[in-house]
Amino acid sequence: MQDFLLFSGTANPDLAAAIAHNLDHRVSPSRLERFPDGEITVYLDEPVRGRSVFIVQSIASPVTDNLFQLLLFVDACRRAAAGRVTAVVPYLGYARADKRHGRREPITASMVATLLQAVGLDHLVTLDLHAAQIEGFYHLPVDNLTAVPTFCDQLKPRLSPGTVVVSPDEGRFKTASEFARRLGTTVAVLQKQRETGSETKVVKVIGEVRDRPCLIIDDMISTGGTIATAIAALLQAGARREIIVAATHGVLVQGVREQLSHPALHEIIVTDTIAQHHPDWPQLRVISIAPLLAIAIQRLATSESISDLFQ
C-alpha cells in the first residue's frame, strides 16, 4: 500500500508535507545544491531502484528555476533506476503560452512537455490546467484534476442566498456551470471584446445579476486585472456589492493587492498549489488541495482508478 517514495522540490514544501501527512507517509530526503556560478543540482538521499516515485513540485515563481529542479529530479530518478516516475505539478507554469499570437514566438507549454518527456517522465498529475489542449502536448498519461469540488465544499455553507456564479469569459463557462450545479445556483458570463493586443473590454453581462451577490471563478489570479474588470462590469449591471472570487492558482504578482482593493470584494479564495506569503491580507483565504492530491497519489501507487476525482 505504501510502497512508493514521495520527494519534494523547493517550490512548495509545505504542500508536500501536507500530502505526506494525509497519506500517513513521509517526504523522502533530498538535497538541492547551488553552485557559485548559479548552477543547481539535486541529490536523492534514499535509494529509488525499482520503486514508484512521486515528485511534488509546482512550476511557480521563480518559474524557470523550479522547472529545472523538476527536470533534475526526474533525471536523477531515471539514472538511479526508479521503476516509475510521476511528477505531481499542482501548478503547471508556462501553461498560458499554449499557442502563438504572432509568427516569431515559441509555444512554451509545448516545449515544457518536450523537456519533461525527454528526461524520462512517466506520468504527469496536475490541477486545473489553463487550457485543456495542453494535455495534447504530452505523449504520456496526464491526469488534470480539478479543485471545483474542494471549493464547493468550502463555499456551500457560507454563500449568501441567490449568489450567481460568474465566468470572467466564455472560456471558463463550463467550469462556472459545474460550480453552479454543485452550489445549486445560476451562471452569468462576461462577454469581452479585445481592444488591443493586451487589453480587453467587457461589452455585455449575460445572465441575471441585478441585486444578487456574485462568485467570480477562474483558474488563476496573476495581476488581478481580469477580476478587477469583472467586478466593475458586474456592479455596473446592478450586482450587489458582495463579491467573492475563487481561483485555483494564486499567482498573485506584485501589485495585485492594490488592483483588488475594491470594497465590494469581500473575499479572495485560492488553493495552496502555490505557496502564499501574504499574512497581512485579510481578504485572502487559502484552502488546501493536499487531501485531493493524496488520494490521487495513493490510488496511482496501487494502480486504482482516479476517474471520480475529475467529477
pLDDT, tens only, 91-145: 999 999 888 877 788 999 999 999 999 999 999 999 999 888 899 999 999 999 9
Residue-averaged pLDDT of the chain: 92
- Residue 158 grid coordinates: 457560507
Phi/psi for 59 (5° steps) reads: -95, 70
Mean pLDDT over 12-31 rounds to 96
Query: Which runs of E-coded beta strand occur in the chain?
Result: 4-8, 30-34, 40-44, 52-56, 84-89, 123-127, 142-145, 164-167, 187-194, 200-206, 214-221, 243-250, 265-271, 284-287
Cα 96 from Cα 213, distance rounded (Å): 30
Cα 249 from Cα 129, distance rounded (Å): 10
pLDDT of 216 over the 90 cut = yes
**CB 213 within 8 Å of CB 239:** yes
The residues that are catalytic are 192
2-6, 144-148, 212-216, range with the lowest pLDDT: 2-6
- Residue 183 grid coordinates: 452550489
- The count of C-alpha atoms lying within 13 angstroms of the C-alpha of 200, restricted to the half-sphere facing its C-beta, is 17
Q: For residue 221, what are the β-bridge partners? A: 250
Cα 73 from Cα 8, distance rounded (Å): 9
Burial class of residue 37 (count of CB atoms within 10 Å of its CB; 0-12, 13-18, 19+) = exposed
Cα 16 from Cα 110, distance rounded (Å): 26
106-115, 268-277, 298-307, range with the lowest pLDDT: 298-307
pLDDT of residue 43: 97
Percent of the chain topping pLDDT 70: 96
pLDDT of 64 over the 60 cut = yes
Q: What domains are defined for the chain?
A: 4-146+290-310 (3.40.50.2020), 148-287 (3.40.50.2020)
